[in-house]
A and B are shown apart, each in its own frame.
Chain A
Amino acid sequence: MSVYKKSKLLKSHRVEKGFSREKLSEGICDITTLKRYENEGMLPSEDNYRLLQEKMGGRPEQIIMSYDMGLFVDGDRYVEYENLLNNQKYDELRMKMQILKEGLKNVESVEKEQFLARLETLTYYDYTKEMLEIQEGLLKKSVPDYKDGEFSITRLYNDTELNLLNDIAITNDKIGCTEMAVKIFEKLDVYLGQAEDNKDSMIAVKIYFNYANTLGLSGEYEKSIEICKKGIALEKKNSCQELLYALVFNIGWLYDQIWMDNHDEKYKKAAKEYVGLSLALAKYFDESPINTPTIEGYYKENFT
C-alpha cells in the first residue's frame, strides 16, 4: 500500500503553491493549528484536511484509490488490458472495452473516463503531436497542474494517472522530444522512489522499462542498464509481471551496443548471457508471441 504522511503532503503542497500559512489557514483553522499539522504536532481532522487541500486547488481526496464502484478494485483487470495492448490484440481489447463501457454507463467517474479514453487512444492513434495533446488533456482532467512535462511529485497518483504520464513520456520520445521524455521519466523515478511500498504495482516496472528504453536508444547505455536493474529488483516482490524477460533482454542488447563501441569481449559475453536468459524466460513464461521470435532471431544472428 502506498502511503503518504498528511503533514508532509500539506506542507510541501503549500510551499509548492506559494501559500503563506496565514493565507491558507484563514477561515479553516488558526495559524498555530496549521503549523502543528505541518510539524506533526497535531493530526488534522478529515474535514480540515480536505478543506486545506481544496483551498490549494489540489485533489481534495484524503484517499485516492484506483477504484470507482469496485471497478478497479482488481489490479488484475489492469493487467489483462495491458497484456492485450502489449500483444497488439486490439480487436479483443476493443470488444472488452465495449462491454466495460456498457456496464459502466451509469457510473460518473474521471478515472473511468481516463481509463477508457487512454486505451482508445493507444489502439486508434499513431504517435503524433495530436496524440500527445489528447494524452495530456486526459491527464489534466485529474491533474490540472500538469504542463509541458512539469508535475508535482508530492501529490498522489493512481495507476491510471501514472500510466498516462508514462504514455506522455513515450509519445514525446517517439515524436523526437527525447529530452522531454527523459525529464518526465526522471521525475517519475523520484516519485516512485519516495512513495513507500508502491512497487508492487505493474506500472512502476513499466515506467522503469520505458525509461530504460528511451535512455538506451539515445546512447546512454550504462544509465539504461542501471534503470533496467532497478526494474528487475522490483520484481523480487510478490508481484506478477510479464516484463522480466524484456528487462533482461534490454540489458543484453545494451551490453551488445557497448561491445560494438569498445570491442571488449567481456561485454559480448555478458550480452550473450542476458539475451539467452531473456529467451529462456520468454519461452518458459509463454510471453508475447510477437517478441519471443524477435529475441530468438536476435540471439541466433548475434551469438551463434
Chain B
Amino acid sequence: MNDSNVIGAILGTERTNLSLTISKVCDGLCSASTYNRYEGGKMLPDKFMLSALLERMGKNSNRVLYTVTDEEHRLLDIKKNLLESIENEDSEKTRQYLEEYSSIPKTRSKNIHKQLELEVRGELCRMSGDTKGALSFYKEAFELTCKKKLDDIDNSLYTVREFGLLYKIASISDHNLLFKLGYFLKKLNDNHYLKVVYYGELISELVSESENRWMKQVQLEYIESALQYKRLIKQSKGVVRLLELKKKYAGELSEEEETILKFDDLLGWN
C-alpha cells in the first residue's frame, strides 16, 4: 500500500465511522473533489491539510508521523517560534516571525496559512491593547475556513485553530457564545481532541466571566465537572486554575487539592 493509499484509507475509515459527509469534513479547507482524491489515494495532502482534516474528525494529529518537505519544515519552525513569542507576549519577536512566515511563498494549503497569519495579526493587536482590531482579525481568520458557522455552532466540525479562534472571539465579545461553546464541548466524546485541548480551559474562562451572572452553586457545578473530566483523562494541565476557582467559590479544598495547589511552582505548571 503506498502512502497516498494509506492516508486515503485512514481518512475514509474515520469519516465513515463517524458518518460524516465529505463536504462537512473539508468545507472551507479544500474542495470536495480534492478531498475525494485524498480518500481515493490519488493525491497526498500536505502536513497542514492532513492535520486539519484529522482534527475536524476529533483526532490528535500529534500522534501521526509524517515526513515533510523542506518548505513545510521551515514554516513549521517559524510557526513554533511564533507561538512561543505569543505565549511570552513578545510583540517585537512576534512581528518579526510573522513577517518571515508571510514572506515564504506557499504552494499548498494557502487558506490554512493565511488563517494563522490573520490570527497572529489579531494577537499583535491584543498585545497592544487594541481589542477591537484583535476581534476583527480573529473573525476574518475564522471566516476564512468557516463561512457559515458562527450561527450554527452545534452542527459544525472544527480544527483546533478554528475552535481556538471561536473561543477568542467569544472571550472578547460574546458571553453567550462562550456558553454555547462550553455546551458544545461537553457533548463531545471524552477522547475528542477538541475536548481534550479546550474543555478545562474554557470552563475556567466561562466561570470567571460569569461572576455576576451565575449563582455560586452553578459555578461550582461547572468547575467540578471540568475537574472530573481532567481526572478522567488524567490531564494535569489546567488543573491548578480550576482548583484556584474552586477555592474561591467553595471557600475550601480537600487535603489533596490543597497539596496540589501548593506545589504548582514545583511542577512548573505556571
Residues of A in contact with B (beta carbons under 8 Å apart) = 1-7, 9, 40, 43, 46, 50, 61-67, 69-70, 73-76, 156, 158-159, 196-198, 200-201, 232-233, 235-242, 244, 248, 273-274, 276-277, 279-281, 283-286
Q: Which of B94-111 contact A (CB under 8 A)?
A: none
| B69 and A3 form a contact (CB under 8 A) | no
Name the B residues within 8 Å of A74 (CB-CB): 59, 191
The 8 Å CB contact of A43, one of B70, B76, B268, B269, is B70
Besides the known contacts A2-B65, A63-B65, 8 further A-B residue pairs in the complex with CB atoms under 8 A apart:
A1-B61, A6-B70, A9-B67, A43-B70, A46-B3, A64-B65, A73-B13, A284-B260
Name the A residues within 8 Å of B73 (CB-CB): 3, 5
Is B66 interfacial (CB 8 A cutoff)?
A: yes
| B196 and A238 form a contact (CB under 8 A) | yes
Interface residues on B, range: 35 or more
| A241 and B260 form a contact (CB under 8 A) | no
| B68 and A242 form a contact (CB under 8 A) | no
Q: Which of B1-19 contact A (CB under 8 A)?
A: 2-4, 6-7, 9-10, 13-14, 17
Residues 220-240 of B, flagged 1 when their CB comes within 8 A of A and 0 if not, give 000000000001011111000
| B67 and A5 form a contact (CB under 8 A) | yes
| B68 and A65 form a contact (CB under 8 A) | no
Would A46 and B44 be within 8 Å (CB), given that A5-B67, A200-B62 are in contact? Answer: yes
User: Residue of B at shortest CB range from A199?
Assistant: B62
Is B152 interfacial (CB 8 A cutoff)?
A: no
| A3 and B231 form a contact (CB under 8 A) | no
Would A67 and B61 be within 8 Å (CB), given that A3-B68, A6-B70 are in contact? Answer: no
Would A283 and B256 be within 8 Å (CB), given that A66-B65, A70-B14 are in contact? Answer: yes
Name the B residues within 8 Å of A2 (CB-CB): 62, 64-66
Name 13 interchain pairs, CB-CB below 8 A, sorted by A: A1-B51, A2-B66, A3-B76, A43-B71, A46-B3, A46-B4, A65-B65, A69-B9, A201-B62, A238-B197, A248-B267, A281-B236, A284-B231
